[in-house]
A = this chain, B = another copy of it.
Amino acid sequence: MDQKGFFQVDYSKSDFIEVKIGMLGYGFMGQVHSNAFIKVPFSFSDPVARPVLLAICGRNQKKVEDTARRFGYKEYCLDWQLLAKDPRIDIFDNCTPDDWHYLPSIVAMENGKHVICEKPLSLKLEEAFQMAQKARETKIKTMCCYNYRFLPAVRFAHQLIKQGILGKIYQFRAKYLQQQGHNPFEHIEKVWYAHGTKSGILMGIGSHIIDMAHFLIGEITAVSGLRKTYNQMRKDCSGKSNPVSADECTIAILEFKNGAIGTIESSGVSTGRKNYQGWEINGSKGSIVFDLEDLNHLQVYSTDANPPEIQGFSNVLVTDSEHPLQINYLPSGHNQGWEYGHVHALHHFLDCVVNDKPVEPLGASFQDGYRVQVVIEAINQSSARGKRVEIKEFGRDI
């Protein structure tokens, strides 16, 4: 007690084990994950672990140091290999650009780290396969961070389906729409999916709803896809014209093993849609509708509701104690923000690491991440061939 009447907080007395985090990347996702780790200890009645932000890594020293200081990291470094091999690190969190997902994740796994990797697992199918295979061989935990599985309304949808509230699933109808490229005269540098290491809109956001299809409906067996690039040339800021190879809109018909069918539509040119993910599922006994712009609600129609004349889509505010993924100190009616997808995802991963639980089926493992890449490949091939293709042609067992 330095100051009379004040007690020092003894962190060694914590009920929760410390888990050391090594973060690779300080951009959008590096910051979102850092925030999420910080929130874990006080957001849950059982936080499972106390994440320690040990070190963050990036190539721009000024930026990485600034990010480290803002988020409270103890250390930073400039060489990812150091981080991936550091024996102090328990969880290696790969928040790099998409074309950097492969190698650091492989090295971290080889060094016995539990590994989180942002989605998509890799831009190259073969790399994704190797990542999934490596994950299987080792005893480590892996998660491909498909964060939308961890929104309360989405998890609630998952529960309702597993409980049979919707009956036999007939149809899945998903769209993920953004608008960055809607203007043909927008400079290519302003259109995230159209340049650099990004390989288009299906890979960038369509992957989320493919994973959602896997999570909520199950295995996809065949697809018919169409890729479209409306604006095949775009000027850059210097005025030079550039060819655009990335897809701007890709849509596909899905066939599931359980007999359901579905559609996914991903677009980067949907004017007015800022970050609009929405889907509807129809089953023999009910339907559900989700809209990411209003992410604390789930619309639920159930033929079991009573009496029949007041059946309608019930606009459920998923913030009650009966609902999944609630926050310790937020009472009913107090909305969670978009960031909570990551808070719950990382909380789940910590639980898997600390208590040796499987990441699946609630989280997406590297195997799940690979399965998404296989579907992407199949959609692309279907579009090129102008015919329906079976998924098994493109994927290997893992």
Instruction: Check A8/B75 contact, CB under 8 A, given A69-B13, A297-B293.
Output: yes
Residues of A39-97 contacting chain B, CB below 8 A: 39, 41-42, 47, 55, 65, 67-79, 82, 86, 88
Pick the contact of A387 from B261, B284, B311, B387 — CB < 8 Å?
Answer: B387
Complex: chain B residue closest to A250, CB-CB: B261
Smallest beta-carbon distance A189→chain B, Å: 15
Among A167-175, A213-221, A369-377, which stretch is in contact with chain B? A167-175
Residues of A274-316 contacting chain B, CB below 8 A: 274-276, 282-287, 292-297, 299-306, 308-316
Taking a contact as CB atoms under 8 Å apart, the answer to whether B306 and A77 are in contact is no
Pick the contact of A5 from B9, B78, B332 — CB < 8 Å?
Answer: B78
Smallest beta-carbon distance A147→chain B, Å: 11
Interface: A396 (CB within 8 A): no
Taking a contact as CB atoms under 8 Å apart, the answer to whether B226 and A272 are in contact is no
Across the interface, which residues of B come within 8 angstroms of A5, CB to CB? 77-79, 82
Among A27-35, A109-117, A346-354, which stretch is in contact with chain B? A27-35
Instruction: Check A274/B42 contact, CB under 8 A, given A6-B75, A300-B310.
Output: no
What per-residue 1/0 map shows which CB atoms of A263-276 lie under 8 Å from chain B?
Answer: 10101011111111
Among A138-146, A237-245, A322-330, A359-367, which stretch is in contact with chain B? A322-330
Across the interface, which residues of B come within 8 angstroms of A297, CB to CB? 293-294, 312
Interface: A199 (CB within 8 A): no
Taking a contact as CB atoms under 8 Å apart, the answer to whether A319 and B274 are in contact is yes
Across the interface, which residues of B come within 8 angstroms of A6, CB to CB? 55, 75-77, 82, 86
Taking a contact as CB atoms under 8 Å apart, the answer to whether B310 and A305 are in contact is yes
Taking a contact as CB atoms under 8 Å apart, the answer to whether B296 and A31 are in contact is no
Taking a contact as CB atoms under 8 Å apart, the answer to whether A287 and B312 are in contact is no
Taking a contact as CB atoms under 8 Å apart, the answer to whether A305 and B305 are in contact is yes
How many Å lie between the Cα of A297 and that of B335 in the bound state? 13
Across the interface, which residues of B come within 8 angstroms of A294, CB to CB? 294, 297
Across the interface, which residues of B come within 8 angstroms of A127, CB to CB? none
Instruction: Check A4/B82 contact, CB under 8 A, given A76-B9, A306-B304.
Output: yes
Pick the contact of A9 from B68, B226, B333 — CB < 8 Å?
Answer: B68
Taking a contact as CB atoms under 8 Å apart, the answer to whether A170 and B249 are in contact is yes
How many Å lie between the Cα of A362 and that of B53 in the bound state? 35
Taking a contact as CB atoms under 8 Å apart, the answer to whether B55 and A168 are in contact is no
Interface: A177 (CB within 8 A): yes
Instruction: Check A284/B329 contact, CB under 8 A, given A14-B69, A170-B267, A306-B304.
Output: no
Taking a contact as CB atoms under 8 Å apart, the answer to whether A253 and B251 are in contact is yes
Among A98-106, A118-126, A128-136, A178-186, which stretch is in contact with chain B? A178-186
Q: Which 6 interchain pairs have the tightest Cβ spacing? A: A275-B333, A337-B337, A274-B333, A272-B301, A387-B387, A312-B316
Q: Chain A residues in contact with chain B, CB under 8 A?
A: 2-11, 13-14, 28, 31-32, 34-35, 38-39, 41-42, 47, 55, 65, 67-79, 82, 86, 88, 156, 160, 165-168, 170-171, 173, 175, 177-178, 182-184, 224, 226, 228, 230, 248-249, 251-253, 255, 259, 261, 263, 265, 267, 269-276, 282-287, 292-297, 299-306, 308-317, 319-320, 322-323, 328-340, 386-388
